[in-house]
C-alpha cells in the first residue's frame, strides 16, 4: 500500500509539473516574436507578418479609457512621427473589443493601430496576462521587434508616462549599432 501511495504521489507531482510547463513564457530577447493576427479598431485584420522590414513596438496595455493607458497612448501618438522616421510602427494590444478601441481612438485622437484580443490568445502567447479584481486584462509589457521579426528589447512593469521616450532612445541605440 505504501508503494502505491509513493507511486501515485510521484505521478501526481509529475503531472503538475507537466501542466505548469505548458504555460507560455515571455518571448526572450533574441527569440523570434510569436506571430498573430488580430482585428484593429478599423475592423481590419492585422498580422505581425505584415510589418516585416519595419521595427514594431508591440505594446500590451490593460484597458481603454483608463488613466495610465490613455497617457501611454497619448505619448505614443505625440511621438508617432519620430517612430515613422525610424521605420517603426506602433501596435497596441488589449483584451478590449474592436468597438471599444474604435471609440477610444476617436475620443483620444489616436492614429496608430489598436488590436483587440478578447479571447486572450495573443496576450497569452506573450505572457502578458494579469488578473485584476476578477477581470483578465493585458499586463503592461512591451516588445521591441526588429525588421526581421526578432525581439530586441522587452519592457515589463512599464511607467506609461516615460515609456515612449525610453523606447525611442533604445530604438536609436539599436539602429546605430
Instruction: Provide CB contacts within 8 A for 156, sequence distance 6+.
Output: 26, 139, 141
Segment 70-76 long-range contacts (CB within 8 Å, at least 24 positions apart): 70/108, 71/160, 71/161, 72/140, 72/158, 72/160, 72/161, 72/163, 72/164, 73/104, 73/108, 73/110, 73/114, 74/108, 75/160, 75/161, 75/163, 75/164, 75/165, 76/110, 76/112, 76/164
Residue from 33, 38, 69, 73 carrying the catalytic annotation = 69
- What cell does 152 get? 530586441
Q: What is the spatial distance between Cα 31 and Cα 10, in angstroms, rounded to a whole number?
A: 34
Instruction: Give the strand pairing for 129-132 and 113-116.
Output: unpaired
Give yes or no: 69 in active site. Answer: yes
Q: Which residues are catalytic?
A: 69
Amino acid at each position: 500500500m505504501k508503494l502505491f501511495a509513493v507511486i501515485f504521489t510521484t505521478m501526481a507531482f509529475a503531472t503538475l509539473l507537466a501542466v505548469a510547463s505548458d504555460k507560455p513564457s515571455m518571448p526572450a530577447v533574441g527569440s523570434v516574436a510569436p506571430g498573430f493576427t488580430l482585428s484593429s479598431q478599423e475592423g481590419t485584420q492585422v498580422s505581425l507578418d505584415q510589418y516585416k522590414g519595419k521595427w514594431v513596438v508591440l505594446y500590451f496595455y490593460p484597458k481603454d479609457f483608463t488613466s495610465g493607458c490613455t497617457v501611454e497612448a497619448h505619448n505614443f501618438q505625440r511621438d508617432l512621427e519620430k517612430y515613422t522616421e525610424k521605420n517603426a510602427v506602433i501596435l497596441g494590444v488589449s483584451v478590449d473589443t474592436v468597438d471599444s478601441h474604435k471609440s477610444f481612438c476617436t475620443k483620444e485622437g489616436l492614429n496608430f493601430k489598436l488590436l483587440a484580443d478578447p479571447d486572450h490568445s495573443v496576450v497569452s502567447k506573450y505572457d502578458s496576462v494579469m488578473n485584476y479584481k476578477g477581470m483578465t486584462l493585458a499586463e503592461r509589457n512591451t516588445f521591441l521587434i526588429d525588421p526581421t521579426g526578432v525581439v530586441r528589447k522587452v519592457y515589463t512593469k512599464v511607467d506609461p508616462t516615460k515609456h515612449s521616450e525610453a523606447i525611442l532612445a533604445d530604438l536609436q541605440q539599436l539602429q546605430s549599432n
